[in-house]
Amino acid sequence: MTDSELKLPETMELEQERLKKDLKEAEYSAVFVLDKGTMGYYGGYNLFAKNLVVIDHHPVIGDAPQGIIVMNPQLDGSYRSCSTSLLIHMLAASMGMDEKYDDFMALVGLKGDWALDPTSEMISPYAREFYNDRVIGTFDTIIQKIKAPATMFEVTQRDYTCVLSLITELIFGLCGGGFGYFYNDRDIFLKELDQRRFCYDILYSHAEDFDYDSWTNICPFMDTSSESENVRLIYGYFKFDWKKTMNLFASTSYFTKLGDTDVFMFSGTAAI
């Protein structure tokens, strides 16, 4: 048995039956539940899961879990914009186990969770110390504004993007994003591909040869992997779908108001 085993469930929350099934597969000394929400009912998992640790940045659902270890800056009911990647980085740094690639991974997670946007100089107060100490002066190449088509992450302006946004959007597409949307039905080469594991492998394929200073656009990040063909295939499908979605937003019209919520309708061309 290896020192640790990684599971990548496709659902947001960690269901009880899934956890019970996974725990039967091997002996373990602790279970870490990462970025899977902070559900009050997780506290009941201590009846069958020893040394359960939840590390998460989402607002608590229900009451705070009891009887387990929880690391979440939202536990007191306030909201601090951050990411689970930053929380894990904080733990690693406290034990002297962080390296430059870990800084990069924390940065990508913060970008993906909307906790910072270098193109508009928005940095969450919770991430400010990390950004000042670990990002500025090191990752300047990937956080500087570039004149290129904006990604899904540029919301306050659409004239500029940065390589960090491009990389994060690529990762979002590779792993199914927050929607668990995969492209196995689009291409025969993707039929048997587990995109979650695939994305994980692509990310860590850069760890050994971390040449981030050469990343002046998205191509070096995509093409240095031995799986670059599938990376480009998935990213192409993602960008195609995203463009269709953006076109729908361009055809919105106000419909009605329900309570305090404005309701809009989208029009598009139906396939017959």
Say if residue 41 is in the same domain as residue 126. no
Amino acid found at 205 = S
The string of pLDDT tens digits covering residues 55-73 is 999 999 999 999 999 999 9
The string of pLDDT tens digits covering residues 103-153 is 999 999 999 999 999 999 999 999 999 999 999 999 999 999 999 999 999
| CA 254/CA 257 separation, integer angstroms | 9
Cα first-last separation, the chain: 54
Torsion sign across C-alpha atoms 171, 235, 200, 9: positive
The string of pLDDT tens digits covering residues 193-233 is 999 999 999 998 888 889 899 999 999 999 887 899 999 99
Residue entry with tokens 């899961």:
49
- At 221, list the tokens: 């990040």
Task: Give the pLDDT band (50/70/90) at residue 272.
Answer: very low
Say if residue 68 is in the same domain as residue 150. no
Q: What is the DSSP letter of 210?
A: -
Say if residue 154 is in the same domain as residue 216. yes
pLDDT given for residue 2 in this prediction: 52
Domain residues for 60?
1-79
Say if residue 111 is in the same domain as residue 170. yes
User: Does 269 reside within a domain?
Assistant: no
Say if residue 155 is in the same domain as residue 179. yes
User: Does 254 reside within a domain?
Assistant: no
Q: What DSSP element (H or E) covers 170?
A: helix 163-175
Say if residue 124 is in the same domain as residue 208. yes
Total domains in the chain come to: 2
Burial class (CB in 10 A: 0-12, 13-18, 19+), 74: middle
pLDDT given for residue 268 in this prediction: 64
pLDDT given for residue 11 in this prediction: 87
**CB–CB of 156/134 below 8 Å?**
no
Q: Which residues of 4-33 are buried (b: 16+ CB within 10 A; e: fewer)?
A: eeeeeeeeeebeeeebeebeeeeeeeebeb
**High-pLDDT (> 90) share of the chain, %:** 78
Say if residue 134 is in the same domain as residue 205. yes
